[in-house]
Amino acid sequence: MMRICVFGFFLLFFVLSPVSAGFYPNSSVVPPELIRNATGNLWNSFLNFTGCHAGNKYDGLYKLKQYFQHFGYIPETFSGNFTDDFDDILKNAVEMYQRNFRLNVTGVLDELTLKQVVIPRCGNPDVVNGTSTMHSGRRTYEVSFSGGGQRFHAVKRYSFFPGEPRWPRHRRDLTYAFNPRNMLTEEVKTVFSRAFARWAEVTPLTFTRVESFSNSDIFIGFYSGEHGDGEPFDGPMRTLAHAFSPPTGHFHLDREENWIISGEGGDGVISVPEAVDLESVAVHEIGHLLGLGHSSVEGSIMYPTIMTGKRKVDLTTDDVEGVQYLYGENPNFNGSISPPSPSTQQRDTGESGDASRIDGSRLVLTSLLLLSTVGLFLYLV
């Protein structure tokens, strides 16, 4: 295993070629041919299964089972050899998925469910060893906010990695570095600085950029395809990024996305739906690096999806309370984070298929990365 890990990091450090394209100051300069590439989302074929239900057989349904297994909804023990039968295995997966995304739990592949399924997302699962990381009932409770005469419920659904790993108390001042092979511009690096600052504002943590990639606490890199951790990226859309639990510090992004780096769109809208706002993804993934899992509060940063072409970078109460559970408050924080807006609090999650899934929590991956870290250590010594 160690040899494999060392080999994986050998790949990471020496084989990957520099980022060749994919960063755009704003959406108006994304080349049209790249936009056409991005629309070729292979998952869209799953929409053909609309209305499918248990007891029947449908051509190609095994591919959907593979999808659900990849994201944890079907146990790894059901390896290979999926049939096209809509069996109980798939029905259970669909129901769990519907619970996670707060859809009607029907066990049927209805339109809203499949619209959510085809949303681009990262390769990390929502379910670890049969336990959903998105829907932790243990920490789910409701509180009421009143504001502007309107009263609504904010459902607290932040979650953590299994075992609640976090950066240890003696490591509050963290460093981050970029893979030098990526040769990122200062403009791109600044996007990450802004994203880190959002978490530093509400915690005792600090984040300092350093040049030494091998000696930092957090390692940021853009990769395409297989890149050493067994979780290959897949080109435009679908999976966007993944990050690992503390104190691992690995943060990988798909370099084949059309990344918008300007932070344009003050109203949250970017004109090109196939482009992804880099800072929005970065803020979310940093949440994973700090130990947060997914929240099922749609308006929160740690919700697994964002709308493509939109920008979502402001921490919500749910995010802040989650990270402060792990690290406590920033004594200098003035508490100005506002609760999520009513419009995003209790909306059905399946209302649009034009969204991107971002994510980063996976026990399997975490284990791999922990082992890989040991491998890296062995490699370095």
- The least CB distance from residue 52 to Zn ion, in Å, is 28
User: How big is the chain, counted in residues?
Assistant: 381
* Closer CB to Zn ion, 65 or 121, in the complex: 121
Task: Give the footprint of Zn ion on residues 224-243 (CB under 5 A).
Answer: 229, 231
What is the spatial distance between Cα 348 and Cα 39, in angstroms, rounded to a whole number?
24
Q: Can you tell me whether residue 314 is helix, strand or coil?
A: coil
* Amino acid letter for position 316: T
- The least CB distance from residue 60 to Zn ion, in Å, is 28
The catalytic residue among 285, 298, 321, 351 is: 285
* Closer CB to Zn ion, 126 or 274, in the complex: 126
Binding mask 252-271 for Zn ion (x = CB under 5 A): x-------------------
126 binds Zn ion (CB under 5 A): no
| Residue partners of 133: CB distance under 8 A and separation at least 6 | 125, 126, 127, 159, 161, 162, 293, 294, 361
Residue nearest to Zn ion (CB): 359
- The least CB distance from residue 35 to Zn ion, in Å, is 25
- The least CB distance from residue 243 to Zn ion, in Å, is 7
What is the spatial distance between Cα 93 and Cα 72, in angstroms, rounded to a whole number?
9
- CA nearest neighbour of 71 among 23, 114, 117: 117
Give the containing element (helix H, strand E) for 355: strand 355-357
Q: Is residue 234 a known part of a binding site? A: yes
Record the tokens describing residue 41, joined without a space.
């989302």
Q: Is residue 302 a known part of a binding site? A: yes
What is the spatial distance between Cα 76 and Cα 66, in angstroms, rounded to a whole number?
10
Q: Is residue 229 a known part of a binding site? A: yes
Q: Is residue 250 a known part of a binding site? A: no
Q: Is 186 a catalytic residue?
A: no
What is the spatial distance between Cα 114 and Cα 51, in angstroms, rounded to a whole number?
9
Contact window for Zn ion (CB under 5 A) among 7-15, 57-65, 194-202, 358-366: 358-366
Tell which one of 359, 362, 363, 375 touches Zn ion (CB under 5 A).
359
Are residues 13 and 212 in contact, defined by beta-carbon separation less than 8 angstroms? no
Task: Give the footprint of Zn ion on residues 162-181 (CB under 5 A).
Answer: none
Q: Looking at the annotation, which residues are catalytic?
A: 285
Point out which residues bind Zn ion (CB under 5 A). Answer: 229, 231, 252, 359-360
